[in-house]
Amino acid sequence: MTEATPDTVGAARTTGTPADETPTIHILWINAGLSCDGDSVALTAAMQPSIEEIVLGALPGLPKIAVHWPLIDFECGPVGGADTFIEWFFKGERGEIDPFVLVVEGSVPNEAIKPEGYWCGFGDNPETGQPITTSEWIDRLAPKALAVVAIGTCATYGGIHAMAGNPTGAMGVPDYLGWDWKSQAGIPIVCVPGCPIQPDNFAETLTYLLYQATGAAPMIPLDDKLRPTWLFGATVHEGCDRAGYYEEGEFAESYDSPKCLVKIGCWGPVVKCNVPKRGWMNGIGGCPNVGGICIACTMPGFPDKFMPFMDEPPGAKVSRTGSSVYGAVVRRLRTITARTVDKEPKWRRTGERITTGYRPPW
Amino acid sequence: MAARTKAAGDGSGLVEMSWDPITRIVGSLGIHTKIDFKQKRVAECYSTSSVFRGYSVFMRGKDPRDAHFITSRICGICGDNHATCSVYTQNMAYGVKPPHLGEWIINLGESAEYMFDHNIFQENLVGVDYCEKMVKETNPGVLELAERTEAPHAAEHGYRTIADIMRSLNPLEGEFYREALQVSRYTREMFCLMEGRHVHPSTLYPGGVGTVASVQLFTDYMSRLMRYVEFMKRVVPLHDDLFDFFYEALPGYEEVGRRRVLLGCWGALNDPEYCDFTYANMTNWGRRMFVTPGVIVDGKLVTNDLTEINLGIRILLGSSYYEDWQGQEQFVTQDPLGNPVDPRHPWNQHTIPAPQKRDFDDKYSWVMSPRWFDGKDHLALDTGGGPIARLWSTALSGLVDIGYVKATGHSVVINLPRTMTKPETTFEWKIPEWSNALERNRARTYFQAYAAAVALHCAEMGLEEVRAGRTQTWEKFEVPDESIGCGFTEAVRGVLSHHMVIRDGKIANYHPYPPTPWNASVRDSYGTPGPYEDAVQNTPIFEENSPENFKGIDIMRTVRSFDPCLPCGVHMYVGGGKTVKSLHMPTGLSGLGG
């Protein structure tokens, strides 16, 4: 693949695509849901692959892409003037960039519950001079998108901003568009939960979708909560390196203990997330594996069903008590075995005779 | 066509322009201006934020121990600052003092946050405003001069000319741009070692941290830290060369983004030898922080007393989408020392959203107007993006003296030890002549070195605890039925305070005040504009483009120098009564698809 300079690609892209080339896939990124931009920021930490590798096409077979991403976009010109970032979203609406993938970051507030104004806006309506709400952008763009991707637990399921008592009536993209919604290409909403997303989880999902768009990969496998199955199939606990303590009935009483944190707030056994197994970035960091209770930030029930975070999950008590009894026995037996295996076999010694079982011919 | 052009309807001959959404910042900020192209000045500016989430509303009635987990989600790039500040607040409210090692670990995490965040923002977000591609599109004459100008510190950073530095900052294709992305990753690894994950920490708790302190933990951190120290030995001279060049190339550029020196710093990185998290001793332990708190007006230190700083905070309305809380219940009438607490203080704030149409003559933003009351005036303090206020305040107080860092009363001396390929190096940040865009940016680079230097001290202190066998990092506590707490720290972008009231064991009131509400605040009830508005209004235009091709780079440099951090958008209408049809060919990230 020839690496194009930014200028030449930009030139090729604006006026459509020559017939013999695969079309450039545009990514329209709306970060103006009820969000903190944490998912955008987290993606810059991805290394498998990194954003520069995705954008510069460093993996074989990736299509050309043009990312319209507020966080690091070069474009910053005035509305209606030179290099206006928001103009790409109007182009998407007018069908001038095809295909495009719509990425939504942040939850979608309910704009219908108040007499006027807006909970969140992204760009201005040239007719009224008022902000265009995020939900209006979703209405305008989703029907034309190749795929809609919800990044982060806010966009997928509502998340923190949809907590009980919130004033905005916030919800996730599937709540807004409908859980059965499918894009014109037949792709369901793709949900990558996490607060924020684990960096490589999102980079990997995006890469998958780009391969799918070229025809190289089959329909992205999603579970009934629209999560990529290969990333969210297992629980935190199944990948947690402190699970051994659980089995042996050893539970931390204080947060700085290296033992299992279930008794002091960890929800790992019932939460679908791969962080302890994968690490946070480059295999470093995590949650319960490094002393941070799992608060279930990837789940549809987050956060309300897991608060107060620092209390023991009610369901954990029964199984933990069981494990305490059984685990104590297991631990005692293992201590005996461990003492044996901690010793070297007796033939490793100095002396004039070999006692390994070998019979010397001399 | 989205283009909308209009002359200001007031017969002034000004041109209305807006930017929405502003890219290369975090979150939502809008800048709406009236520009006088004849005088080449920005005449008026309005800052607007278009996202409301309502943390202080939905936190009411929740368990206080959830506060740091929840408030972290306020911000996706400095959420850990909130978690830290919340943990400080809870420590005060619960009366718990974490073990020293727990505090050193938090300091190391937060130092790594500064190192990561300033690096990615400076090189990958702000840096693009000074890259070859941008300068070519806005000031071709300046680029020509840059090609002919040898970089004074080429020996330190390896770029022969200023234009070579600019080229290295071009998005993605620039060598230094890509290196900085990598640096932003290993600094986040450092952060994750101490706080579990980025940006919302997993291992922070009231009472300390869950991080298991071992020799390995500190070795893994220290080896990365020394790589960063070596990196800073190239980066400080590189940015000095770049920013000094702009003063030389564009005489008068010191006026860009300049405003009166009105700086706030709430102090950061506690010294566990002194900090006991009690309100009664806050004045003393505040002065022992490794970044000294301070309010600076016209270059003079007004106070470095955290208690005084706390009592002076006022939240005004005027142009924001909220109903006033005057006459509502006052939660805290006196602080724990018996000082009166104002009804407009965050401890007593009620957040009553009132969504409505945006009207720049009336209400136009979801941001309120925090001010600092000096007994006479409600000062619209800014943080200058954080570093300039931190260095200025620390320098003036002259209290920090830890070997790696020494405050002199007029400067801050940063001593970096020998690294793999570079000798011991000393940098001195001197109080600048102006509070302007370039000096905010310069301070950001120097503060990266500062954070690395403080981290060296904290890592040594932490490792000493581990070697002595004092590996406890967390202390037990009880949540009282009735209590109040406040926390002060410096988020990456500047002042951060959390104020909490506990009643019946639940959160009765919680108000976080990050730096951006100060910087992006709007005209208050006295009509005083917020810092962005004020700084942009004073900004002269050096861009060579005609109004039709105008990008507003000097305005963008002004706004980005403050390192905005709200989910915001910026609006700009090209005026002059004619429709602008020609669009620049977009470059940068969009369009880099190989």
Domain ranges of chain B: 4-562
Same domain, A103 and A62: yes
Q: Compute, in degrees rounded to 10, the torsion defined by CA atoms A183, A184, A185, A189.
A: 0
Give a yes or no: residue A144 inside a domain: yes
Q: What is the pLDDT of residue A55?
A: 93
- A180 and A45 within one domain: yes
Q: Does residue A109 register a pLDDT over 80?
A: yes
User: Which one of A56, A83, A166 has the shortest CB-CB distance to B54?
Assistant: A166
Average pLDDT over residues A254-280: 98
First to last CA, chain A: 67
CB contact under 8 A, A123 and B583: no
Cα radius of gyration rounded to whole Å, chain B: 23
Residue A188: inside a domain: yes
Which of A293, A54, A295 lies closest to A193, judged by CA? A295
Distance of CA B373 to the CA centre of its chain: 21
| Whether the bond into B529 is cis, omega within 30 of 0 | no
The token pair at B37 is 């192209």
Q: Do B590 and A74 touch (CB under 8 A)?
A: yes
Decide if B400 contacts B390 (C-beta within 8 A). no
Kindly determine whether residue B212 and residue A38, on different chains, have CB atoms separated by under 8 Å. no
Choose from A7, A256, A284, A294 for mutation: most chain B CBs within 10 A: A256
Q: Which residue has the higher pLDDT, B469 or A19?
A: B469
Q: Are residues A167 and A219 in the same domain?
A: yes
Is the C-alpha dihedral spanning A40, A46, A52, A56 positive or negative?
Answer: negative
A287 assigned binding-site residue? no
Residues in contact with A338: Cβ distance below 8 Å, sequence separation at least 6, in sequence order: none
Q: Which residues of chain A lie closer than 8 angstroms to B477, CB-CB?
A: none
* Listed range (A270-279, A331-340, B228-237) with the worst mean pLDDT: A331-340
- Please tell me the predicted confidence (pLDDT) of residue A76: 85
Q: Tell whether A5 is covered by a domain.
A: no
Looking at A231, A258, A288, the residue that finishes a domain is A231
Q: Is residue A15 part of a domain?
A: no
Are B70 and A310 a contacting pair, CB within 8 Å?
no
Same-domain status, A145 and A221? yes
Q: At A54, is the secondary structure helix, strand, or coil?
A: helix
* Those residues with Cβ within 8 angstroms of residue B237's Cβ, 6 or more apart along the chain or in another chain: B153, B156, B157
pLDDT of residue A79: 86
Domain C-terminal end among A181, A212, A231 = A231
Q: Do B466 and B213 contact (CB within 8 A), yes or no?
A: yes
**For testing the chain B interface, which of A166, A290, A298 should be mutated: the one with the most B CBs within 10 Å?**
A290
Residues A61 and A179 in one domain: yes
How far is A141 from B194, CA to CA, in rounded Å? 41
Angle of helix B175-195 relative to helix B215-249, nearest 10 degrees, comes to 140
Task: Give the pair of three-digit tokens for residue A56.
Answer: 């510069």
Confidence at residue A51, expressed as pLDDT on a 0 to 100 scale: 96
Number of domains in chain A: 2
Task: Tell me: do A100 and A210 sit in the same domain.
Answer: yes
Across chain B, how many H-helices and E-strands are there? 17, 19
B/e letters for B395-430, b = 16+ CB within 10 Å, e = fewer, are bbbbbbebebbbbbeebbbbbbeebeebeebebebe
The Cβ of residue B393 has, within 10 Å, a number of other Cβ atoms equal to 26
Report the distance separating Cα B589 and Cα B480, nearest Å.
Answer: 51
The overall average pLDDT reported for chain A is: 92
Q: Are residues A59 and A162 in the same domain?
A: yes
- B182 to chain A nearest CA, in Å? 8
Tell me, what CATH number does A320's domain have? 4.10.480.10
Which stretch of DSSP H or E encloses residue A209?
helix A199-214
Contact A165, A120 (CB under 8 A): no
- CA A61 vs CA A2, A7, A219: distances in Å: 12, 22, 17
Last residue of a domain, one of A184, A210, A231: A231
Q: Kindly report the CATH number assigned to the domain that includes residue A175.
A: 3.40.50.700
Shortest CA gap B46–chain A (Å): 14
Distances (CA, A) of B13 to A44, A226, B154, B374: 43, 54, 46, 39
- The one-digit pLDDT tens for each residue of chain B (594 residues) are 333 345 555 556 789 999 988 999 888 788 999 999 999 999 999 999 889 999 999 999 999 999 999 999 999 999 999 999 999 999 999 999 999 999 999 999 999 999 999 999 999 999 999 999 999 999 999 999 999 999 999 999 999 999 999 999 999 999 999 999 999 999 999 999 999 999 999 999 999 999 999 999 999 999 999 999 999 999 999 999 999 999 999 999 999 999 999 999 999 999 999 999 999 999 999 999 999 999 999 999 999 999 999 999 999 999 999 999 999 999 999 999 999 999 999 999 999 999 999 999 999 999 999 999 999 999 999 999 999 999 999 999 999 999 999 999 999 999 999 999 999 999 999 999 999 999 999 999 999 999 999 999 999 999 999 999 999 999 999 999 999 999 999 999 999 999 999 999 999 999 999 998 999 999 999 999 999 999 999 899 999 999 889 999 999 999 999 999 863 233 444 444 333 333 333 333 433 333
Contact B581, B570 (CB under 8 A): no
pLDDT score recorded for residue B5: 41
Q: Which of B146, B174, B144 is nearest to A5 (CA)?
A: B174
Residue A256 structure tokens: 């700085």
pLDDT confidence band for A317 (50 / 70 / 90):
confident
Query: Which of A85, A281, A311 lies nearest to residue B185, judging by beta carbons?
Result: A281
- Shortest distance between the Cα of A17 and any Cα of chain B, in A, equals 13
Residues in chain A closer than 8 A to B462 (CB atoms): none
Residue B266 is which amino acid?
Answer: W
Determine the length of chain A: 362
Contact flag B76-A81 (C-beta cutoff 8 Å): no
User: Is the bond into B199 cis (omega within 30 degrees of 0)?
Assistant: yes
Q: Do B567 and A66 touch (CB under 8 A)?
A: no
Interface test with A, best of B6, B16, B23, B75 (most A CBs within 10 A): B23
Suggest the residue from B22, B32, B50, B367 to mutate for an interface test with chain A (most A CBs closer than 10 A): B50
Is A74–B573 a contact, with Cβ atoms under 8 angstroms apart? no
Closest CA to A120 of B321, B458, B290: B321
Q: Is there a binding annotation on residue A237?
A: yes
Asked whether residue B568 is marked as a ligand-binding residue, the answer is yes
B256 Cβ partners below 8 Å, 6+ apart? B436, B437, B438, B539, B540, B542, B554, B557, B558
CA A225/CA A175 separation, integer angstroms? 11
Nearest Cα residue to A79 out of A31, A132, A24: A132
Q: In which band, very low, low, confident or very high, does the pLDDT at A1 lie, cut at 50, 70 and 90?
A: very low
pLDDT one-digit tens code per residue, A81-97: 878 899 999 999 999 99
What element of type H or E holds B34? strand B30-36
Minimal-distance CA residue of chain B relative to A1 = B594
In a domain, A63, yes or no: yes
- Phi and psi angles of residue B44, each rounded to the nearest 5 degrees, phi first: -140, 150
Nearest CA in chain B to A252: B210
pLDDT of residue B400: 98
What DSSP character marks residue B125? I
- Residue B572: what pLDDT? 45
pTM of the model: 0.94
A196 vs B6, residue with greater confidence: A196
Q: What is the domain extent for residue A264? A: 234-341
Give the fold, CATH level 3, of B4-562: Cytochrome-c3 Hydrogenase; chain B (1.10.645)
Considering only CB atoms, A287 lies closest to which of B76, B196, B199, namely B196
Position A51 in a domain: yes
Cα of A18 to nearest chain B Cα, Å: 15
* B78 belongs to an annotated ligand binding site: yes
pLDDT above 70 as % of chain A? 94
Residue B407, SS3?
A: strand
Give the strand pairing for B30-36 and B15-19: antiparallel
Q: Do both A195 and A173 map to the same domain?
A: yes
Residues of B with CB below 8 A from A255's CB?
A: 203, 205, 207-210, 473-474
Residues of A in contact with B545 (CB under 8 A): 82
CA B1 to chain centre: 36
CB within 8 Å of B546: residues ≥ 6 apart: none
